[in-house]
Structure 1
Amino acid sequence: MQSQDRMPLLEALTTSAQRYHAPFYAPGHKQGQGIPQPLAELLGMSVFRADLPELPELDNLFAPAGVIQEAQQLAATAFGAKQTWFLVNGSTCGVMAAILATCGVGDKILLPRNIHQSAIAGLVLSGAIPVFINPEYDPSTDLAGSVTPAAVAAALAKHPDTKAAMVVYPTYHGVCGNLEAIAELVHQHHIPLLVDEAHGAHLSFHPDLPASALSAGADLTIQSTHKVLGAMTQASMLHIQTQQVDAQRLSKALQLLQSTSPSYLLLASLDAARQQMALYGEQLMSRTLQLADDARDRINRISGLSVLEFDHTHGFYDLDRTRLTVRVSGLGLSGFEADEILHQQLGVTAELPTSEHLTFILSLGNTQADIDKLVQSFTTISNEYYPAQQPTAWQELLQSWKAHFLYIHPSSFTICPYLSPRQAFFAPTETLSVNHALDHICAELICPYPPGIPALMPGEIIAPAAIEYLQQVLALGGSITGCSDPTLKTIKVVSC
């Protein structure tokens, strides 16, 4: 067995970067000799000396037989996989490749409604037909949980010809569903379970964290190593552990989707991040959990604030404690307003604001000083805004929204697919005013934040409830993504 101490790819890249030679190959900056001075001053020269292409000693990402192969094998062992692929185009390409590897034109795939937009791109590329399952939703907290085993079982019973199932685990807010039960249901139908585990690369390394997707029975999982571990932005991994997924077809799909000029800086960062976690992962995660628990306890004692806790309802089976979701609406502020104050005035930046919450990612890179700064900043905001003297316009709008939330939230929509996402993507389109777009076929992915659940998908009939919901999201200070007109005055539809 290979030693997890080694970093074969990083070691080879270090040697190549330090070797003097005349470079007559891309990239054009020639190991930094031609780099613009302002960029060199920002990053230093060493990063450019290591910005190398597929030199013979550095192996080939698409036909690995040397140091990349060895690094990927070490990663597979560290993360509990049968085989691992390094990704330089982020988890986005991994999600798309997973769909391409398991589904073709006309094949059905189960997906949660709050799936990442990369999965919709995978549907467009593959021609697969989505069978959407709504995640559980808690209107009292304005947060979506996970899909439940019961919902998966019902979908499989209704669509026994389904070729694959994909779920999100954990969610952006750290919510984990009962993945083990879902895996058992999916495998009873002899199809693979694919997991978008973009926010869960750390789960394998501490017993007090939720189970990793692979240990819970996933056949394939995609992890954004850069999101919570020590890899560089855009560096991710894809793991498989069973023969339910054709490894050769998966490799071909990744060749279609990844750059033919992969960054060795990103690849080497994956090798180093793996070694760090294999050797010190439990120690690093213990410290991260201690920081998270400290932050949770102290923030919960600040007037007007509360931190999301574990709850067995609404698709909550477990919770990643390193993800802090703080409810700020008790201060009379929206999450967007609190985020602006923290970022611009107090020097604290959250990962994700929503109508009532701010979500913070705690990782191995955070320090006690970070936690103290966060708590101090929230204390400052609370001292200024709590208690709210009178309902703000935002609070009045929010209460009005919640009064009939069950009617307008996507979990209550009747999904009306008319065309597949692929058919809608390639169909002729026209732009109509939002009022005239009703009952037409949507040609865009329209996803509101909050709560991040797509309200309209390409190929679906545009219903009045969806438009009303989207307009109220905008009124609350949220944003609309994926569409050509984020103000929602117009929508692209499939031409009649």
Structure 2
Amino acid sequence: MAPTPSSFSHLVSNGSSILEQNGKDEFQNAKTWKTLNKDLIPQETKVCSTPLVSAIEKAIEEKHATFQFPGHNKGLAAPSSLTRLIGDLPFLYDLSEIEDQFTQQSPILEAEKQAAKVFGSSQTWFLLGGSTCGVLAAIMGTCNSGDTLILPRNCHISAISALSLCGATPKYIFPDYDSHWDAATSVSPSEVEKAIKELELEGKKPAAVFITSPTYNGICSNVKEIATLCHSRDIPLIVDEAHGGHFGFHPQLPRSALQQGADVVVQSTHKVLLSLTQSSMLHASESLLVDKDRINRCLQILQSTSPSFLLLASLDATAAELKENPEAIFDNAIHLAEEAKLDLKHIPGISVLDFPNTDPLRVTVGVHDLDVSGYEAQDFLFKDQRVLPVLTGSRSVTFLFTPGSCREHVNRLVTGFQNLSSVYLLQNTKKQRVKRAALKPFVDIDMKLTPREAFFAKKKKVDVQDSLGKICGELICPYPPGVPVLIPGEVITEKALNILLQAKAYGARISGASDPHLLSIIVCDI
């Protein structure tokens, strides 16, 4: 069974007990009382200090007569189709009012302070809009309209959305690229320095530098060297560390971006760590290059005023779990990933990505020697063993190992690739081998409008064959990992279209396009 933060599971167990004790009077006619396990006895659990979990527990124990949101009223009117699936307890804890996230006495604020100590930040904010919300706030909190932001062309779409909101202009840099794996790797410090110097020649200074590390494949950039370079010119460094929230908590894991000197770091706490989906964190260092009050104001604009306390409590509980015994959380996952890599390397036609400074919990498996695409391999693995990857590419499939990974799943993963190898090696002996071209990235970017200008420009739909040379009006990317191939404001090139059409032919899902079949494209009508 996948591990759950102990304080969070204790809250759920205790909630069952509370419902049982008070059900005969307060919940006599409720569906909640009818579905309770009356024999449940909550176990004593050692927990760390968890302000949010404790606040929710106290709120339930006080047995309020509630005339507030939400309408289901602690599960009394929960939809039966959903309670059959997840039970009543999630509704019991789905509260709308404890205290305001931005007041000085909030249990949310106290939980964020404790999380900051665990993650080593000067200030931490809990996010309920995923890392997307954190990227938006980080860029809006450092860039004004007309400013320039240095960022990699393979950034997540949220960074482009932030530019549309704040009006900053992108100065793109390009990560290193490995054609054998058809994958962007790390952002080199020299590429960042080159961009800074080019702006200096124009009499400009970037408002910030933004990089993504690690990549979806787990490949890390040299954040320390990039941070030193930026700070030598008083430029703040923002790191999209969505896939590296677990970094720094085990000696075999890479150092976190905060530990390497980044000023603002965004982490998807739900990706590898233990919180609920959609919950993330935004961290700021002690750096004076960033206005933390401004970031806080940006979050007040971007975040809901009615946060889910279930999601917030899962962040609180995760931080407490990491404080209690961080290394033990990852021992099993790292061990299983190492075993899987060794087994996979012995399968004919299968290769395993082995780059320096890569997250050991990411296992990227190459299938190009079998003359199949990653998308074909994904379909085979699902049909054969019901195995689901975290990322599929043209030449590989990537798997994420987490604290919840188990040996039985690893065995199915290895078996799936053994069967894939047997089937396709046999087929390849009976037919002529077809060489599959890598989906190489392009660098001939021609930006006619800023993302913000393109966002607000009039638009029209044209056939894809008539779109060449026109200014793109929508953000289009194969998904995952959500890296855009066409960005609003850029001239549509033949190379960009070929990348999208080839990805679609391989089986990728096209995200962001109004026409997912790519028969037409939205362009700016100027």
Q: With structure 1 as the length reference, what TM-score do the two structures score?
A: 0.92
**1:270 maps to amino acid:** L
Alignment-derived partner of residue 315 in structure 1: none
Count of residue pairs brought into register by the alignment: 476
> 1:115-159 deviations in whole A, cap 9, x for unaligned?
111111101100110111111111111111021111000000011
**Alpha-carbon distance between aligned partners in 1 of 2:139 and 2:69, rounded to the nearest angstrom:** 33
Shift in Å at residue 436 of structure 1?
Answer: 1.8
5 Å matches for 1:88-487?
Answer: 88-160=128-200, 161-241=205-285, 242-311=287-356, 318-390=357-429, 396=434, 398=436, 401-402=437-438, 409-410=440-441, 412-448=442-478, 453-487=483-517
Using the TM superposition, give the Cα deviation of residue 450 of structure 1 relative to its aligned residue in structure 2, in angstroms: 7.9
Distance 1:164 1:380, change over 3 A: same
Are the equivalent residues in 1 in contact too, given 2:448–2:491 (CA < 8 A)? Answer: yes
* SS state at 1:298 partner: helix
After superposition, give the CA deviation of every residue in 1:145-179 in whole Å (9 maximum; x if it has no partner): 02111100000001132110110010000000111
The one-letter amino acid paired with 2:354 is E
**By how many angstroms is 1:465 displaced?**
2.1
Change (3 A) 1:42 1:451: closer
**Partner residue of 2:75?**
32
What is the letter of the counterpart of residue 461 of structure 2? T
Distance 2:180 2:395 in 1: 10
Deviation at 1:70, TM superposition (A): 1.4
Q: Which runs of 5+ in 2 are unaligned?
A: 1-45
Structure 1 position 330, deviation (Å): 2.5
Cα deviation code 1:409-438 (max 9, x no counterpart): 33x421111111000000001111122222
In structure 1, the residue matched to 2:520 is 490
Letter in 2 for 1:437: S
Distance 1:246 1:65 in 2: 22
State how far apart, in whole Å, the 2-side matches of 1:27 and 1:301 are.
55
Aligned identity (percent) is 43
Conserved? CA contact 1:354–1:451, under 8 Å: no
Deviation of the 1:332 alpha carbon: 3.1
SS state at 2:348 partner: coil
Secondary structure (helix, strand or coil) at the match of 1:285 reads: helix
SS of 1:492's partner is: strand
Residues 153 and 174 in structure 2, CA contact (< 8 A), matched pair in contact too: yes
Aligned residues of 1:449 and 1:473 also touching (Cα < 8 A): no
User: C-alpha separation between the residues in 2 aligned to 1:155 and 1:492?
Assistant: 30
> How far 1:466 sits from its partner (Å)?
1.7
Structure-2 separation of matches of 1:202 and 1:195: 14
**SS across alignment from 2:461:** strand
Could you report, residue by residue, the CA deviation over 1:331-359 in whole angstroms, capped at 9, with x for unpaired residues?
33221122122223312111111111111
- Matched ranges for 1:9-24 at <5 A: 9-24=52-67
Q: Aligned equivalents of 1:33 and 1:492: distance in 2? A: 47
**Runs of 4+ more than 6 Å apart:** none
- Counterpart selection for 2:85 from 42, 45, 50: 42
Q: Distance in 1 between matches of 2:249 and 2:460?
A: 50
Deviation sequence 1:248-303 (CA, Å, 0-9, x none): 11011011111111000000000011111111211122222111101111111112
Local SS of the residue matching 1:304: coil
Provide structure 1 residue ranges, at least 5 long, that are not aligned to the other structure. 312-317
- Aligned AA (1:473): A
8 Å contact from structure 1 (residues 304, 387) kept in 2: no
* Native 8 Å contact 1:413 1:465 kept in 2: no
